[in-house]
């Protein structure tokens, strides 16, 4: 079938002359897939992704097939060019998509690998519309926000539904209702609900209840106004989840209920909790899962036996939270601002390992701009282990190298991630191999010993955006190494995002001096894991192992670090 036919296929209502311009993809079965649509009001940062992933998890436990999608308002094609200190970490999917950190939340909560189909930005939507326009796909019509741009959004969701055979697609709309850049997403969802018919879509409005210290009571007006704004867009919420610091009282819930036509039992309190992994239980307690199922008319699709098993496993995991018997402190070299979001996956990976090992992992952040060989010991005296995470550019790199040296020479457990791996190679080259002023050409392109150099395939890349060595790659593990003992396998898959690598010319010299490259790319001389034997724990990887750590399957390199820190 040609593109043009595909655009128009499957729906008799679609024609050039009618206003029903809604591209239904071939093979789409109306009614098979239902949609839960999550929007936010009052402020951003409510945790829409956390909420949506927890609800999706409850549905997955019941044997339903779920597929999330994040719709971002910004015009960037992906998150790769965004500064993590402004927008949170760049999460990398196995297929190489650089996306919003919320996709990490979904992958962890659902223990499921996602793909580029689960992430859309306004930039992607407009790009696709403009490409179709140039291709002549709009059959002489003027191309408009409605129906063409909104049509493109619906097309994405329906394609995702077909591809994943989902019972429920969870749609998370970025930003807050009222943002100009997200308005067309909300309009598209209103159209979707209209086209799919009653009980096909469940709109969840997340909002925030203020509790000003000076008043000492909860205030729901901002929430009411936010919901009103959503209703002005033609969307009637079916469920309202009230975020707040403390449990939301009946009075506030009643006010919101009356104001929004949402029955009181569907206006729920979603107050702060110590761990995101406790939120599924919170949603379950207030019966949220069954409210959604009833609304979508799919109670008959669930498998309660599957749910019992899955829920028991989950509770075994969450029961361990807060009952840790030991505390360790891990130092992370990172800039001070908005650390939680910029290093979300590392924090999560440490939490997973801590829970598994019965250990409360505290984090000590420190900037390395002023760290030197002389003061490193002082700065690191209170930590039980250290992580040098990924990064770009020159700032703080000499301090990071000093930290690596301190860890190597003082039996301090160390995990290097991506840039941290490169720092470990440089430190070893300088201080053990005697290659004075060895460096990465990213940091100093005139170094006499470029032990870290640009990947050959990256030499011809000029533009920015989506062109690093990205995504899941297999790592071949050398037998009889610490890595092999840890992974218990000859091959592991990890996720990458880098332009530089260990320069192959120096591999032999470095290995001769005692550093072991225990993981490499199967068909190229790209070094991917390094380790030192005879040290309590000194390991680093060119990959980002934090991206594949899952609550009940903590990533091995993080487990190893926490374990070593506990022994210290």
Residues making contact with ligand GLN (CB under 6 A): 390-392, 418-419, 442, 497-500
Nearer of residues 202 and 426 to ligand GLN, judged by Cβ:
426
| Cβ-based nearer residue to ligand GLN, 220 or 541 | 541
Cis upstream peptide for 147 (omega within 30°): yes
Beta strands at 98-99 and 91-92: parallel, antiparallel or unpaired: antiparallel
- Closest-approach residue to ligand GLN (CB): 390
Nearer to ligand GLN, 158 or 469 (CB): 469
Of the chain, the end-to-end C-alpha distance in Å amounts to: 64
If the CB atoms of residues 366 and 500 are measured against ligand GLN, the closer one turns out to be 500
Q: What is the DSSP letter of 535?
A: S
Centre a 10 Å sphere on the Cβ of residue 444 and count the other Cβ atoms it contains.
Answer: 14
Cα–Cα dist 532/518, whole Å: 10
- Of the two residues 40 and 84, which places its CB atom closer to ligand GLN in the complex? 84
Question: Alpha-carbon distance 354 to 466, whole Å?
Answer: 33
How would you classify the pairing of strands 385-388 and 414-417?
parallel
**497-500-505-510 Cα dihedral, nearest 10 degrees:** -70
Question: Between 170 and 500, whose beta carbon lies closer to ligand GLN?
Answer: 500
Minimum distance between the CB of residue 497 and ligand GLN, rounded to whole angstroms? Answer: 5
Closer to ligand GLN by CB, 89 or 238: give it. 89
Shortest CB 432 distance to ligand GLN, Å = 22
- Tokens 């033609």 belong to residue: 234
Q: Given the complex with ligand GLN, which of 356 and 386 has the nearer CB atom? A: 386
What's the DSSP call for residue 64? -
Rounded to whole angstroms, the Cα distance separating 228 from 89 reads 32
- Torsions phi, psi of 516, nearest 5? -105, 125
Query: What's the min distance (Å) between Cβ of 443 and ligand GLN?
Result: 9
b/e string for 206-245 if b means 16 or more Cβ within 10 A? bbbbbeeeeeeebebeebbebbebbeeeebebbbbbbbbe
- Tracing tokens 């760290």 back to the chain, one arrives at 371
For every residue of 67-111, DSSP letters joined together read EEEEEE-SS-SSSTTS-HHHH-PPEE-TT--EE-THHHHHHHHHT
Distance in angstroms (rounded) separating the CA atoms of residues 100 and 68: 13
Residue 143: count of CB within 10 angstroms of its CB: 13
Q: How far is the CB of 500 from ligand GLN (least distance, A)?
A: 3
Cβ-based neighbour number of residue 381 at 10 Å = 7
3-state DSSP of 427-461 = HHHHHCCCCCCCEECCCCCCCCCEEEEECHHHCCC
Name which of 181 and 367 has its Cβ closer to ligand GLN: 367
Least separation in angstroms between residue 433's CB and ligand GLN is 21
Least distance in Å: CB of 452 to ligand GLN? 8
Report, in Å, the least distance between residue 70 CB and ligand GLN.
22
Shortest Å distance, C-beta 498 to ligand GLN: 3
Instruction: For the CB of residue 352, give the shortest distance to ligand GLN in the complex, in Å.
Output: 21
Q: How far is the CB of 523 from ligand GLN (least distance, A)?
A: 20
Integer Cα distance of 475 and 494 in angstroms: 7
Three-state DSSP at 103 gives helix
Nearer to ligand GLN, 46 or 526 (CB): 526
Q: Which is nearer to ligand GLN, 47 or 391 (CB)?
A: 391
Q: In the chain, what is the greatest distance between 2 CA atoms, to the nearest angstrom?
A: 77
Q: Taking the complex as a whole, how short is the minimal distance between the CB of residue 484 and ligand GLN, in angstroms?
A: 24
Q: Which is nearer to ligand GLN, 47 or 390 (CB)?
A: 390
d(CA 48, CA 175): 9
For the record, the structure tokens of 479 come out as 């037998």
Tell me, rounded to whole angstroms, the distance of Cα 542 from its chain centroid: 19
Q: How far is the CB of 90 from ligand GLN (least distance, A)?
A: 9
A 10 A CB-CB count for 184 gives: 20
* C-beta of 295 vs 498, nearer to ligand GLN: 498
Reported in sequence order, the residue ranges of 209-321 that DSSP labels E, i.e. its strands, are: 239-244, 267-271
The residue among 27, 28, 48, 25 whose CA lies nearest residue 38 is 48
The answer to whether the beta carbons of residues 98 and 470 sit under 8 Å apart is yes
- Please state the closest distance from residue 139 (CB atom) to ligand GLN, in A: 45
How wide is the angle at C-alpha 567 spanned by C-alphas 562 and 568, nearest 5°?
Answer: 95
């Amino acid at each position: 079938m040609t593109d043009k036919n595909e655009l128009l296929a499957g729906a008799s209502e679609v024609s050039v002359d009618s206003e029903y311009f809604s591209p239904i993809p071939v093979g789409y079965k109306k009614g098979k897939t239902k949609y839960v649509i999550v929007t936010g009001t009052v402020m951003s940062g409510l945790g829409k992704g956390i909420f949506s992933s927890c609800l999706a998890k409850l549905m997955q436990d019941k044997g339903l097939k779920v597929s999330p999608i994040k719709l971002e308002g910004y015009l960037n094609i992906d998150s790769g060019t965004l500064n993590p200190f402004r927008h949170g970490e760049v999460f990398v999917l196995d297929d190489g998509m650089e996306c919003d950190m919320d996709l990490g939340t979904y992958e962890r909560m659902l223990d499921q690998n996602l793909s580029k189909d689960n992430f859309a930005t306004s930039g992607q939507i407009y790009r696709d519309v403009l490409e179709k326009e140039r291709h002549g796909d709009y059959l002489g019509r003027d191309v408009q926000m409605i129906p063409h741009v909104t049509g493109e959004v619906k097309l994405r969701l329906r394609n995702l539904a077909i591809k994943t055979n989902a019972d429920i697609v969870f749609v998370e709309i970025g930003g807050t209702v009222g943002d100009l850049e997200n308005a067309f997403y909300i309009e598209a969802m209103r159209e979707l609900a209209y086209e799919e018919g009653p009980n096909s879509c469940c709109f969840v409005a997340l909002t925030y209840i203020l509790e000003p210290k000076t008043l000492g009571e909860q205030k729901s007006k901002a929430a009411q106004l936010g919901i009103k704004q959503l209703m002005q867009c033609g969307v009637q919420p079916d469920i309202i989840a009230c975020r707040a610091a403390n449990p939301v009282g009946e009075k506030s819930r009643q006010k919101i209920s009356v104001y929004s036509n949402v029955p009181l039992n569907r206006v729920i309190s979603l107050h702060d909790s110590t761990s995101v992994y406790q939120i599924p239980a919170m949603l379950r307690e207030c019966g949220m899962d069954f409210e959604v199922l009833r609304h979508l008319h799919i109670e008959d699709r669930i498998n309660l036996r599957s749910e019992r098993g899955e829920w028991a496993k989950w509770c075994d995991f969450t029961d361990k939270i807060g009952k840790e018997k030991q505390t360790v402190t891990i130092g992370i070299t990172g800039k001070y601002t908005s650390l939680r979001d910029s290093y979300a996956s590392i924090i999560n990976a440490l939490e997973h390992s801590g829970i598994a090992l019965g250990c409360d992992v505290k984090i000590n952040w420190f900037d390395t701009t002023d760290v030197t060989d002389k003061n490193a010991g002082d700065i690191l005296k209170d930590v039980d282990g250290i992580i040098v995470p990924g990064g770009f550019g020159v700032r703080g790199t000499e301090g990071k190298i000093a930290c690596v040296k301190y860890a190597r020479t003082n039996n301090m457990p160390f995990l290097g991630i991506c840039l941290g791996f490169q720092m470990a190679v440089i430190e070893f080259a300088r201080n053990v191999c005697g290659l004075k002023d060895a460096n990465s050409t990213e940091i100093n392109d005139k170094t006499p010993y470029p032990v870290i150099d640009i990947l050959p395939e990256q030499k011809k890349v000029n533009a920015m955006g989506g062109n690093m060595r990205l995504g899941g790659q297999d790592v071949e593990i050398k037998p009889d190494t610490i890595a092999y003992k840890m992974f218990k396998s000859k091959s592991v898959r990890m996720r990458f995002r880098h332009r530089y690598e260990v320069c192959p010319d120096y591999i032999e010299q470095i290995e001769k001096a005692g550093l072991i490259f225990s993981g490499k790319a199967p068909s190229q001389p790209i070094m991917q894991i390094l380790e030192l034997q005879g040290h309590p724990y000194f390991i680093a990887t060119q990959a980002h192992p934090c991206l594949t750590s899952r609550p009940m399957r903590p990533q091995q390199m993080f487990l190893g670090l926490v374990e070593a820190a506990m022994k210290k």
